[in-house]
């Protein structure tokens, strides 16, 4: 290091050294040009553990690990500082005795008045505590992500496993409803379908809560005409209201406004609020729907019922998952998830939800959303009625069904039997399905994803890769309703994605579409037939991810109880039908009973080990 001969300079150096020595939070020391330690302050002694007499004169590489020394890291740092004037980094260094610590380092080159390098100044701060905290936070984050991934996998598996038996319950139930039944038999079948559809709603609500909590539910905001969505919700709830002679009255004032919302999610919110207004109402009561501008660019939709009302102390509990305030006073089915999901959805759409109520005098629920500017959205087309007619003189539509579940195969066989111009081939293995598609060139492939040899996704890729089968429409038919899977399969070339439980009307529409495409090709052989000419469609349940499992674990037995209760109802009505209607198809009824029994056993997987003993038995309680 350069030394000063002027007494004034020496005095200045002494003062500066006293200042440096007094700093204990930082290790501040000087290095010779070759890296030898030339000075040492109290902070360096505290952080690195060496006294000045022990370290001055030694090379600063003693602070580095053996691996760093072998790679000449100390020399490279000196060279970098000499070239650029300064070198900064964070990394592991060694204290006296070889104990590691995490160091924040600044190495500065010192030059004289003529620019000659005379040494280095090094400042080091001990950041071990911060590093440990960051490492702990990272570990916790990784563990949380792994837990979320495991939870998502569990939710996906439970969704798939429960939807599979529901496919048989609702599918064969729909077939029974189409038979020539007595009034009592039709009521029994209706109760089976109602309970099965409600069970599907419960599964969807749990998935939605889960997905919303994880922040993985996608919301697509667009201008939505409020009266259209409200009218669609009223149409859905009208049969339930009519059975109890409840009047639904909607004002048209301001309803033609467009709000900024996700159309599907807004309809879900309105249906949920309207459903509650009907279910928790009095027989012969009323539901009034009104709309008003409450602030600049804000619209409020209000649903007022004449029902039982809600105590003031219970208002906030309404929006907590699994809370069912009237569960002990009412036989209305539910999980207590609908309003919790409603709040999540409204928040995601930059909206609000609220309620005022008086016990015994009804409730007023409201939602509020911003007004949207934009081109009005055309009304959505309604689902067409069932059409079981057959066009004369048309060759049968050949359908290849890839499925290893015998119950599902029987169901699709029964459904397609209602189209006399349809022929069905069945492959219970994925590889066999590819071979059969090449040999028979079907007009449509119905593809399950969970096959015993290869996945349905592999089958889809093989069909798309082979020029002989690349133009065949492939409709995925699966109980896996997770949106990521749906989007990926559509992107990989599936023309449709139909989720189980099976919507028979939708399946027949897909078959009819395949037949129409085949007929078009017969009429014009030059016409393209690639799957891309279809508009990929998705008939998928609403999906989401689980809310606060820990704090709500005690509520899970109630949820499982509700599911078992519904499945018990299904099983019991099957018994009644079998006893009272010998002319009905006993095979169909047995399929429903078997599926219900399977679903009951699966609900046990939802219970944590500590609550397994609380699992209720099947059947109404």
CA count, 13 A, side-chain hemisphere, 309? 10
Cβ proximity of 322 and 552 under 8 Å: yes
Strands (E), 388-509: 397-402, 422-427, 444-447, 474-478, 496-499
Cβ contacts of 60 within 8 Å, gap of 6 or more: 31, 35, 36, 37, 74, 122
464-468 long-range contacts, Cβ below 8 Å, gap at least 24? 464/492, 464/493, 464/531, 466/434, 466/438, 468/438, 468/441
Over residues 139-168, the mean pLDDT reads: 71
- Residue 570's pLDDT is 62
Confidence class for position 145, pLDDT limits 50, 70, 90: confident
Contact 119, 38 (CB under 8 A): yes
Provide the 8-state DSSP code for 371: B
Burial of 327 (C-beta count, 10 Å sphere; 0-12/13-18/19+): middle
Q: Is residue 20 packed enough to be buried (19+ CB in 10 Å), middle (13-18) or exposed (0-12)?
A: buried
Torsion 269-271-273-279 (CA) sign = negative
The arithmetic mean of pLDDT across residues 142-153, rounded, is 72
Tell me the CB-side half-sphere exposure of residue 180, using CA atoms within 13 A. Answer: 1
pLDDT value at residue 577: 60
Q: 584 is written with which tokens?
A: 């009905």
d(CA 115, CA 532): 71
Strand ranges (DSSP E) for 515-598? 537-539
Average pLDDT over residues 29-46: 92
Tell me the domain boundaries of the chain: 7-126, 397-539
Pick the residue with more confidence: 436 or 620? 436
Confidence band for 611, pLDDT divided at 50, 70 and 90: very low
Q: Decide if pLDDT at 375 tops 80.
A: no
pLDDT in tens, 442-451: 999 999 988 8
Distance CA 99, CA 434 (A): 63
Mean pLDDT of 98-120: 93
Percent of the chain residues topping a pLDDT of 70: 66
- Is the per-residue pLDDT at 40 higher than 60? yes
Fold of 7-126: Beta-Lactamase (3.30.450)
Residue 371 contacts residue 595 (beta carbons within 8 Å): no
Phi-psi label, residue 619: left if phi above 0, alpha if psi -120 to 50, beta otherwise: left
- d(C-alpha 528, C-alpha 522), whole Å: 11
Radius of gyration of the chain (CA): 35
- Report the relative pairing of strands 222-225 and 258-261 from DSSP bridges: antiparallel
Confidence label for 480 from pLDDT (cuts 50, 70 and 90):
confident
Q: Give residue 386's pLDDT.
A: 34
Beta strands at 86-94 and 100-111: parallel, antiparallel or unpaired: antiparallel
- Nearest-CA neighbor of 495 among 442, 450, 548? 442
The model's confidence at residue 538, banded by pLDDT at 50, 70 and 90, is very low
Residue 223 structure tokens = 């201008």
Cα(584)–Cα(274) distance, integer angstroms: 36
Give CA separation, 121 vs 2, 48, 86, in Å.
13, 16, 10
Residue 137: Cβ within 10 Å count: 10
Q: Which CATH number is 397-539 given? A: 3.40.50.2300
Peptide linkage before 403 cis (omega within 30 of 0):
no
**For residues 520 and 570, what is the distance between their CA atoms, to the nearest angstrom?**
43
Element (H, E) at 304: strand 298-305
Structure confidence at residue 533 as a pLDDT band (50, 70, 90): very low
CA-based nearest residue to 323, from 310, 311, 334, 307:
334
Mean pLDDT, the chain, whole residue set = 75
Which of 307 and 603 is assigned the larger pLDDT?
307
Q: Tokens representing 610?
A: 């500590």
Instruction: Name the token pair of 486.
Output: 């749906």
Signed CA dihedral, 540, 542, 547, 549: sign only: negative
């Amino acid at each position: 290091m350069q030394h000063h001969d002027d007494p004034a300079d020496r005095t200045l150096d002494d003062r500066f050294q006293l200042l440096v020595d007094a700093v204990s939070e930082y290790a501040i020391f000087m290095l010779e040009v070759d890296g030898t330690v030339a000075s040492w302050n109290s902070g360096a002694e505290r952080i690195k553990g060496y006294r000045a007499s022990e370290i001055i004169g030694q090379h600063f590489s003693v602070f580095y690990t053996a691996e760093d020394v072998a790679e000449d890291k100390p020399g490279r740092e000196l060279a970098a500082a000499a070239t650029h004037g300064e070198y900064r980094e964070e990394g592991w260094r060694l204290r006296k005795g070889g104990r590691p610590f995490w160091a924040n380092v600044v190495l500065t080159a010192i030059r004289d008045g003529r620019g000659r390098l005379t040494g280095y100044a090094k400042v080091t701060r001990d950041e071990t505590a911060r590093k440990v905290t960051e490492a702990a936070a990272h570990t916790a984050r990784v563990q949380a992500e792994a837990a979320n991934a495991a939870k998502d996998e569990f939710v996906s598996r439970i969704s798939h496993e429960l939807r599979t038996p529901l496919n048989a319950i609702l599918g064969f139930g729909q077939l029974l409803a189409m038979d020539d039944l007595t009034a009592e038999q039709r009521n029994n079948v209706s109760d089976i379908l109602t309970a099965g559809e409600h069970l599907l709603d419960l599964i969807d609500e749990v998935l939605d809560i889960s997905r919303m909590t994880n922040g993985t539910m996608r919301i697509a905001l667009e201008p939505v005409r409020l009266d259209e969505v409200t009218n669609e919700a009223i149409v859905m709830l009208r049969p339930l209201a009519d059975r109890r002679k409840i009047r639904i009255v909607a004002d048209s004032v301001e309803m033609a406004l467009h709000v900024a919302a996700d159309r599907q999610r807004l309809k879900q919110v309105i249906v949920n609020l309207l459903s509650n207004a009907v279910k928790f109402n009095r027989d012969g009561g009323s539901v009034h729907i009104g709309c008003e501008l409450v602030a600049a660019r804000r619209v409020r939709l209000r649903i007022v019922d004449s029902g039982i009302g809600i105590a003031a102390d219970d208002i906030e509990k309404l929006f907590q998952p699994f809370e069912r305030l009237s569960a002990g006073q009412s036989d209305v089915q539910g999980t207590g998830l609908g309003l919790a999901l409603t709040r999540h959805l409204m928040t995601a759409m930059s909206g609000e939800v609220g309620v005022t109520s008086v016990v015994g005098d009804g409730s007023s629920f409201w939602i509020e959303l911003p007004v949207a500017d934009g081109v009005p959205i055309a009304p959505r087309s309604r689902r067409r009625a069932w059409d079981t007619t057959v066009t004369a003189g048309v060759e049968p539509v050949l359908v290849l069904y890839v499925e290893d579940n015998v119950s599902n195969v029987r169901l699709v066989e029964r459904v397609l039997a209602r189209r006399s111009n349809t022929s069905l081939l069945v492959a219970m293995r994925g590889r066999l399905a590819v071979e059969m598609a090449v040999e028979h060139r079907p007009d449509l492939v119905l593809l399950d994803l969970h096959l015993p040899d290869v996945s349905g996704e592999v089958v889809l890729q093989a069909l798309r890769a082979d020029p002989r089968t690349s133009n065949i429409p492939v409709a995925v038919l699966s109980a896996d309703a997770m949106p990521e899977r749906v989007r990926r399969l559509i992107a990989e070339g599936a023309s449709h994605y139909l989720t189980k439980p099976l919507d028979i009307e939708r399946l027949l529409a897909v078959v009819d579409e395949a037949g129409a495409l085949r007929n078009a090709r017969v009429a014009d052989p030059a016409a393209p037939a690639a799957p891309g000419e279809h508009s990929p469609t998705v008939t998928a349940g609403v999906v989401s991810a689980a809310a606060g499992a820990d704090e709500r674990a005690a509520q899970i037995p109630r949820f499982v109880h509700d599911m078992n209760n519904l499945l018990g109802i299904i099983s019991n009505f099957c018994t009644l039908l079998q006893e009272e209607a010998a002319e009905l198809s006993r095979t169909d009824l047995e399929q429903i009973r078997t599926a219900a029994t399977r679903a009951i056993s699966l609900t046990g997987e939802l219970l944590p080990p500590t609550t397994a003993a609380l699992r209720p038995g099947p059947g109404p309680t």
